[in-house]
Structures are given as structure tokens and as C-alpha cells.
Amino acid sequence: MSSNQPKSSANRDSFASSLGILLAMTGSAVGLGNLWRFPYLVGENGGAAFIIVYLVCVIFICMPIMACEFIIGRRSQANAFGAYKKLGGNKGWKVAGLLSVLAAAFILSFYSVVGGWSIRYMLMSFGLRFTSGGGIQPESTFNTFVTGTWPPILYTLAFLLCTGVIIVAGVKNGIEKFTKTLMPVLFVLMVILAVRSMTLPGAGEGVRYLFKPDFSKFTASSAIAALGQAFFSLSLGCGTILTYASYVPRSENIFTCGAKTTILDTLFALIAGCAIMPAVFAYGISPGQGPGLVFVTLPAIFAELPAGGIAAILFFVSLFLAALTSAISLLEVVIAFLIEECKMRRAAAVAVSMSVFVVLAVLCSLSQGPLSHVKLFTLNIFDLFDYVSSNVLMTFGALLAVLFVGHKLSRADILDELSSGGLHPIPAGLFKTFYFIIRWAAPVVIIGILVAGLLG
């Protein structure tokens, strides 16, 4: 092991098993991004063409960035801010850590609101409201709910409470136990839904839409959306992968763990696409429904589908579980920061951060209705948090992570960490390609995307 290896911090909680690590990482990655955002972006950007560009972004840009976050986290054994402080050696790099913590906080604030919607829809599905006799008007039911004052706030708070309860239990006993049990359940539920959807009469057109590319509807902004979605879906640039990696023991193979996490996340997104698009086509609905796809279009389909009540339960339970396993990873970024940098106990850190998130999430919830007139640059509070975190903070966070690993850490240290001190050797050609991507290709693409995004 190289001499630059920092000492590991004593008394830190850590993951207990390889499977636990993989499922916790996958739990962070698989979330609303896969089940809610990916399908509607596919629908808005021309189907298979979007998926192909998405896959290219994932393989050539995002997988190497994920490896960088693994390297920083595992090598430093510290929270996002502490990691850059420990390895960076000068004050400037700490900004990267701070940006990551901020990005996680902003995302959790609006993510909890949609998480709250998923609880409400899950409870409605238990009451068989999405059946032909359920008596809902999908569009007006959704609009009345989200623009209200107290109901969406209460569901948002319920979601935050679930997140806090898991995080209080710690890394091994909270995050790992919880994700290890839930991720397999989520996978099974999603596969059942996909099979049901793909075997509907008329589903073939939806399957073709997902897998037969038509680049005529694909634009430059679709490419930006594909990369942005890949960042969001893989939880890059906001310190979650980095923080989770800091709990990974030195003997684990982080190179394959990062690759497997990426593959599983992409698989979940494709399965979600297969669960939604074929049903959308089978019922003759246009795929470009935007954000309402999951909360408006799907309930309308469930109401007509044979055994649609059961499909609705499976879908909204999945949505809730996926959102929860991602939200805990976002909260852990802030908690690890408070524990290690502000010397708080875990329970106190959860209490303090929760009080801030309650305020921010309530503002995001109210911005759908009573506070919808409060706008900055035409964006309401919810959209502003989404825009700033997804388009600015995450992208900068990811850029700084690759620049840090590619240009601040030495080649020997990178290889040492990635191969776990030589325990899990990396083929020379693969490492050379990886090193080129993180030093040059990834930064150039990210800067291009940032400029394009800011210009228009």
C-alpha cells in the first residue's frame, strides 16, 4: 500500500458484507429517477434513441465518475467534506465537499415531497382506489392533492420521518439491514409489473418504442437530458456514493462494486420502462406525458386493467420503497458531515438536520399550490431546488470529483485504491482507458454540458 494512504478513522460505523454494500449502493441509485423520471424522459425524447445515448453516457462517463467517488470515499474514510479536506491538502478542495453536502440537502428537500406523494398513492392503492369502481378522476385527484396545503405536507413529513428512523439506526443496523431486505423485494415487484405490462394486447408497439431507435425526435437538449438523468439516477456528484464508499472495508473490490451498481441501476430503469411504456401504448395513450406520467396516466391505466388494483399496489409500493432507499443515502451525506465535522452524536445530527429539512420540504410542497406565485427566474421553489441541484450542484460536484482524482491524486495512489492495495488487480489496458477518461474525456464532456445547460 502506498505511503500516502491516510490512516483509517477509528470507531467509524461500516458495512458488514459485500452484498450489503452492493444493495445499499443500488438502493441509493434506484429511486424516483428510475421509476418516475426515466420513463417520462424516454417518452418525451423519442424512446429508444434516448435510451441508447443514455447508455453511452452511463458506460463512458458515469461509470468512471462513480469509480472516482468510490476512490475518494474509501481512501479517506470520511464524510464528503472531510474526505476532500483529508486528501486534498489545501483549502480549495473543501469547496467540492461542501457543494456535495449542499446538493444532497437540496435534493432531499424536493425528493421528500414526491416521496410523500408516493405514500399517499400507495395508501390509495391499498384502498383499491385505482380500480374501475375506485371513483377517482386521475388528473383532478392528483392536482387537487398536490396543490393543497396540509395533506401533501403531512405525507411529506411522514416520508421524512421514515427516512430519519432508518438513519438513526446507523450504517450497519439501519442502512444495510434495510436495503438488503428491500432491494430484492423491489426487484421482484418490478419484474412482475413489467411482465404484466408487456403481455397486454397491443403492448408490442410500446416495446418497439423502447428498443427500436428513431433519432428524428432526438435533439441536442435530449442529449443533455440523457447525461443529466444518468448523473441523477446514479446518485453522482452529491456525495452519496462517496459517503457510502467511506464505510466500505479495505478488502472490498470497489471497481467491480461500482460496475455492478451501475449495471443494476440501468437494469432497473429499463425494467421500469418495460413496466410502463407497453401499458401506455396498449391503452392508446401518447408517451410524452411528462412528470404526470406516473401519478396521472398510470392510475388511469390501472383503472381499466384487469386486476389493475393489484398492479397499482405493486407499483406504488415499489415507488415508495425505491424513493426511501435513495432518500436515506441523501440524508446520510448530511448526517456523516454533522457527526464528523460538527462532532454531533448520530441522534442529535438526525434531529438537527430533520428540523431544517422539514422547513425546506414544506416550502417545496407549498410551492405546488399556496406558494406557487413565489418564483425566481420563472421557477417555483420546488423547480428551483430541482434545477439548482440537478443542473448545477451535482454537475459541479461530479466535475470536481473527477478533476480531484484525475489531477490531484497520483496515478499510483489511484491504482492502489482501485485495486484495493493490489488485492484485486485491474488489467493494465482497462486502467489506462479509465485514467484517460477521468483526466480528459469526462471533464471536457461535463464542462460542455454545464455550458450548454447554462446557456439555454
Chain residues in the site for ligand PFF (CB under 6 A): 28-29, 31-34, 104, 107, 232-233, 235, 238, 240, 326, 329-330
Which CB atom, from 223 or from 242, has the smaller least distance to ligand PFF? Answer: 242
Q: Which is nearer to ligand PFF, 20 or 397 (CB)?
A: 397
Q: How far is the CB of 256 from ligand PFF (least distance, A)?
A: 20
The number of angstroms, rounded, from the C-alpha of 78 to the middle of its chain's C-alpha atoms is: 21
Q: Could you tell me the smallest distance in angstroms from the CB atom of residue 271 to ligand PFF?
A: 13
Helix H, strand E, coil C: the string for 340-372 is: HHCCCCHHHHHHHHHHHHHHHHHHHHHCCCCCC
The span from the CA of 322 to the CA of 268, in Å, is 10
Least spacing, CB of residue 325 vs ligand PFF, in Å: 9
Kindly state the smallest distance separating residue 107's Cβ from ligand PFF, in Å. Answer: 5
Which of 240, 367 has the CB closer to ligand PFF? Answer: 240
Smaller CB separation from ligand PFF, 74 or 129: 74
The answer to whether 308 and 302 have CB atoms below 8 angstroms apart is yes
| Helix axes of 254-282 and 48-57: crossing angle, nearest 10 degrees | 170
Cβ count near 410 (within 10 Å): 10
**Closest distance to ligand PFF from the beta carbon of 292 (Å):** 18
Tell me which H or E stretch contains 321: helix 308-341
Nearest CB to ligand PFF, comparing residues 310 and 442: 442
What's the half-sphere exposure (Cβ side, CA atoms, 13 Å) at 329? 34
Least Å distance, CB 232 to ligand PFF, is 5
Q: Least Å distance between CB 338 and ligand PFF?
A: 17
What does the alpha-carbon distance between residue 195 and residue 278 come to, in Å, rounded to a whole number? 10
Nearest-angstrom CA–CA distance, 102 and 79: 13
Tell me the three-class secondary structure of 373-405, residue by residue. Answer: CCEECCEEHHHHHHHHHHHHHHHHHHHHHHHHH
Residue type, 388: V
Cβ 233 to ligand PFF shortest distance, Å: 4
Q: Mutual orientation of helices 63-76 and 254-282 as an angle, nearest 10°?
A: 140
Q: What share of the chain is helix, strand, coil (3-state, %, to 5)?
A: 75, 0, 25
Rank residues 124 and 230 by Cβ distance to ligand PFF and give the closer one: 230
Q: What is the DSSP letter of 6?
A: P
Closest separation between CB of residue 367 and ligand PFF, Å?
A: 20
Identify the H or E element spanning 98: helix 94-126
CB of 144 to ligand PFF, least distance (A): 26
- Which CB atom, from 30 or from 442, has the smaller least distance to ligand PFF? 30
Report the residue number, 28 or 125, with the smaller CB distance to ligand PFF. Answer: 28
Nearer to ligand PFF, 187 or 232 (CB): 232
Whole-number CA gyration radius for the chain: 21
Select 162 or 303, whichever has its Cβ closest to ligand PFF: 162
Find the shortest distance in angstroms from Cβ 31 to ligand PFF: 2
- What's the rounded Cα separation, in Å, for the pair 324 and 332? 12
In single-letter form, the type of residue at position 14 comes to: S
- Minimum CB separation of residue 51 from ligand PFF in Å reads 16
CA distance 227 to 52: 11
Q: Which residue is nearest to ligand PFF (CB)?
A: 33
d(CA 257, CA 27): 13
Give the nearer residue to ligand PFF in terms of CB position, either 305 or 330: 330
Other CB atoms within a 10 A radius of the CB of residue 140 amount to 10
Choice between 114 and 203, CB closer to ligand PFF = 114
Identify the bridge partners of residue 379 per DSSP, sorted by sequence position: 376
Query: Is residue 29 within 8 Å of 221, Cβ to Cβ?
Result: no
Q: How many beta carbons lie within 10 A of that of residue 253, not counting itself?
A: 17
